[in-house]
Structures are given as C-alpha cells and as structure tokens.
Amino acid sequence: MTALEGKVALVTGAARGQGRSHAVRLAEAGAHVVAIDLCRDYEGTVPYPMASRQDLDETCAAVEKAGRSALAVEADVRDLGALRAAVAETADRFGRLDVVICNAGITSWWGDQSDEFADRVWHEVLEVNLTGAWNTLRATTNIMVRFGNGGAIVLVSSTAGLKGFASGVAGYDAYAASKAGLVGLMRGYALNLAGHNIRVNTVHPTAVETMMTTNEEFVQLMQAMGDVASLYQNAMPVEMLQPGDVSDTITWLVSDQAKYITGVQLPVDAGFMIR
C-alpha cells in the first residue's frame, strides 16, 4: 500500500510548475487529486504567462496515468465562493478531503513603478499569495473537520518568507510580505486544528526551475543585479531546485511518516538560509 492510499488531495496552482509536480507526486503516493488553477493571465502586472486550461488537463491526465482519479477545477483563489464550490464538488465525488496544498502564487518585478502601478501590483500579489491561501483554508478546513479523518495542510511559502529579500519594488515587497504572512497564517491554523488531528506546516523552497524563474524578464533582472544576485545563491552547488525536489518533501510531510509534525517552517533550500 502506498503512503496516501485512498486519500484525497486538493492542490491550488496545479496546472503547471510546482503545482503539477505536487499533484502528480501525491497521486503516485496513492491520493486522488483535485487540481485547481486560474487558467488565465494577469493582465499588465505579471511579466510571464500563466498556465492554460490545456495545462490543467495535462496535469489531470498525469494524475490518471498514475492510476488515480483527478478532478480539474478552473477557479481563482481570490474567489472564496468558487473555492467552496470546488470543495463541495470534491465532497460529492470523493466523500472525503485529507490533504490540502496551498501552492498558487505569483510575483512581479516589472512596470513603471508609479504609485498607481505599485499599488495595483502590491494588492494583486498579496491577494493571490496570501488571501488566496486564507480563502483555501476557509474553504477546506471546516469540511475536513466534519469528515473527521484528520489530515495535513501545507502552505507553499519561500525562503523570502524567512530571510531578507530585495525591497523597494512593489512586486518584491508584496512577494516577501505574502510569503512571510503565510507563516503567521500557518501557526494559527496549526494550533486551532491540532485537536482534530489536522496538521498544518509551511515549506520554504529556494529558487525552483519554473516559469516564475526561467522567463526572459527574470533572467535579465538577475543579470542587471550584478553582484547583488550573489545574495540569492545556495550554499550547495545547485543553482535551482527542480519542482520534484519540493514535491518529495511535501509528500513526506503530509504522510503518516510525519504524523506528529505540525506548526513548523521547513526550508527546502540547498543551504540558502545558512549563507
């Protein structure tokens, strides 16, 4: 029997990148998967394309190839009603919900940085990364408690949520604030849900090779930063992690092998935090 046999996992931002990797790895460990994604771009604020419905369908196909059922849902994590509808559909189809991965997230580092643009970026990044995670928790935790099976929740943060990050650019400020905010959110929910045997933790990856970090604008930014870019290097001789490296940690963290681990901030960072 695999580690998550018969369980049901909900993953936000599941169409591509880390989210797809988490969904597939959880399926390989035995879980049926509810894959949620926006499937459209953020116009004018995020300098890289978002995933498409085709990407989301490909994630679900990979889950099914692993021998598990998949439910694809197009939903905006900023929309609590849409998330609650997705959870209701999950309950109707599977009759349980055991694992929640709050993975959906964006960043932005471009634009004219006028006050108007900066305000827009600040709110959009915070709303997706932090409010979106809060909405996901509000939509899922009550039904997990009602099912009475316990469970595990992971909020995907960043080393930017633990360590000083570049500031003065709206997108950077919002990204760092949102990822740090996830820690406070996690601690409160971990405490409140512990009596229901529902564990809540954050993981904090260093840079991961996804569209967020490999698009042309980001590469140009790192080049323009020159020596400052060295502040973002890992201690171990690896420039970026692969999504599966984070998925391995998450799959372990939501399994019974980590059944008494809750309320922790777990770096997956190749030594980034010790530099």
Residue 273 lies in a domain: no
Q: Which residues contact 224 (CB under 8 A, 6 or more apart)?
A: none
Domain that holds residue 96: 8-268
What is the pLDDT, as a whole number, of residue 174? 93
Residue 2 lies in a domain: no
Residue 1 lies in a domain: no
Q: Note the pTM of the prediction, 2 decimals.
A: 0.94
What is the Cα 82 distance to its own chain's centre? Answer: 18
What stretches of the chain adopt beta strand conformation (E)? Answer: 8-12, 32-37, 70-74, 99-102, 151-156, 198-205, 265-268
Beta pairing partners, 74: 37
For residue 172, give the CATH number of its domain: 3.40.50.720
Residue 82 lies in a domain: yes
Residue 227 lies in a domain: yes
Cβ atoms of residues 63 and 23 within 8 Å? yes
Residue 275 lies in a domain: no
What is the pLDDT, as a whole number, of residue 222? 59
Residue 49 lies in a domain: yes
Provide the residue-wise pLDDT of the chain in tens; the chain has 275 residues.
589 999 999 999 999 999 999 999 999 999 999 999 999 999 888 888 999 999 999 999 999 999 999 999 999 999 999 999 999 999 999 999 999 999 999 988 766 678 888 999 999 999 999 999 999 999 999 999 999 999 999 999 999 999 987 667 888 899 999 999 999 999 999 999 999 999 999 999 998 988 676 666 666 665 555 554 555 689 999 989 999 999 999 999 999 999 999 999 999 998 999 98
Look at the chain and report how many structural domains it folds into: 1
- Catalytic center residues: 175
- φ and ψ at residue 68, rounded to 5 degrees: -120, 160
Cβ atoms of residues 35 and 72 within 8 Å? yes
Residue 41 lies in a domain: yes
Cβ atoms of residues 97 and 91 within 8 Å? yes
